[in-house]
Structure 1
């Protein structure tokens, strides 16, 4: 990286925590319980998108007779039951330690709720490691619109062009790039496509590689 960023903005699900796999398994479990069939591709369509968008996708999947609210409650119940075993992704603590050494501010920028962020950070003792959290309800349009990342930069008081954005999803990469940020993808369930690679400064194997980038 030619110059250090002035701030680092993290996605949460699939980047900091291995939560996308939990969400996938909870979706499949809810589908089995309520009689709906899902494939992995069905789930991947939902990754990195706000709930308002996913509501429409799910209702189309169910058809007009499908009970979206009942499914959402069931999915949430399975997800909450599983998240006590939520794992931290490789390199998170080491990268945060490096940002402390560099005195770089950092924020979380997510489509998840503030409650989910508090739970996940608290579970791993990371509640004090971020300067700001931008979550669902804090912006007009969700990813792939740039609004979440622009809001995070505004909260940190840093120009978007001076921010490094870390993402695992395609829509997250699109949002960060549209915000004018230097973007690094750390793939989780979704591989980097040719389109996505063009939007990224780097596609990294894990957050250890991102830490090395800041050395």
Structure 2
């Protein structure tokens, strides 16, 4: 396995790629729905992974009806999520080793995420890696969100690197579509959802974890 070219910068998704948050979000969402007297299954939650809140909100209204307290569901899920991550927020395998390699190679990096800037900072600070990313593009930084390319294009602009020379790392279908639309080389590291044939076609590679990404970059730099 190898990339079409060696990247000049790397753009990371956050949830499900840097941190094992998607499974925690799923648990929180299902518990919140139950607390409000509704059922939500894993299949529905996983179909929203990588989507912005406005898009997910519309899906929830379609599911539960226009009178359902969607914003209360979000608040309850947020409370439960925060309680869960306070107890344990696992970093995904290979994150620290990949960051070490990027430091050694002198490759700049950014995060492009649908989460808020405050959430990004809280998660990065929890693992002492807030200073290991040069830029963050969070939810409020773009009017259009994944699967639109805007977050990745903004990240490339902040890094000062052409999108075609950026490597995007994503775990979700929405994120892969966004990165591909931005013209970036894209590697998918599946988390909750495996790659479909369509998504595989948008990726340079699909790999098991960030250790595999590190090995690709290490080999390509030699």
The normalised TM-score by structure 1 is 0.98
Which residue does the alignment assign to 1:193?
196
Determine the C-alpha separation between the residues in 2 that align with 1:127 and 1:68.
32
Question: Cα RMSD between the aligned structures?
Answer: 0.7
Q: Does 1:97 align with 2:124?
A: no
Which residue does the alignment assign to 1:156?
159
1:134-162, CA deviations, whole angstroms, 9 ceiling, x for partnerless residues? 00111121000000000000011110000
Determine the C-alpha separation between the residues in 2 that align with 1:210 and 1:131.
19
Which residue does the alignment assign to 1:4?
6
Which structure 1 residue ranges, 5 or more long, are not aligned? none
Runs of 4+ in 1 over 4 A off after TM superposition: none
Which residue does the alignment assign to 2:46?
44
Question: How many matched pairs?
Answer: 215
Determine the C-alpha separation between the residues in 1 that align with 2:133 and 2:109.
6
Which structure 2 residue ranges, 5 or more long, are not aligned? none
Point out the more displaced range, 103-112 or 62-71: 62-71
Cα offset, 1:2, TM superposition: 4.2
Which residue does the alignment assign to 1:16?
18
Cα offset, 1:65, TM superposition: 2.1
Which residue does the alignment assign to 2:208?
205
Which residue does the alignment assign to 1:168?
171
1:190-209, CA deviations, whole angstroms, 9 ceiling, x for partnerless residues? 10100011100000110000
Cα offset, 1:124, TM superposition: 0.5
Determine the C-alpha separation between the residues in 1 that align with 2:16 and 2:143.
23
Determine the C-alpha separation between the residues in 1 that align with 2:33 and 2:5.
47
Pairwise mapping of residues 56-135 of structure 1 onto structure 2 (< 5 A)? 56-84=58-86, 85-135=88-138
Determine the C-alpha separation between the residues in 1 that align with 2:105 and 2:129.
18
Determine the C-alpha separation between the residues in 1 that align with 2:113 and 2:213.
19
Cα offset, 1:33, TM superposition: 0.8
Point out the more displaced range, 88-97 or 26-35: 26-35
Determine the C-alpha separation between the residues in 1 that align with 2:152 and 2:170.
11
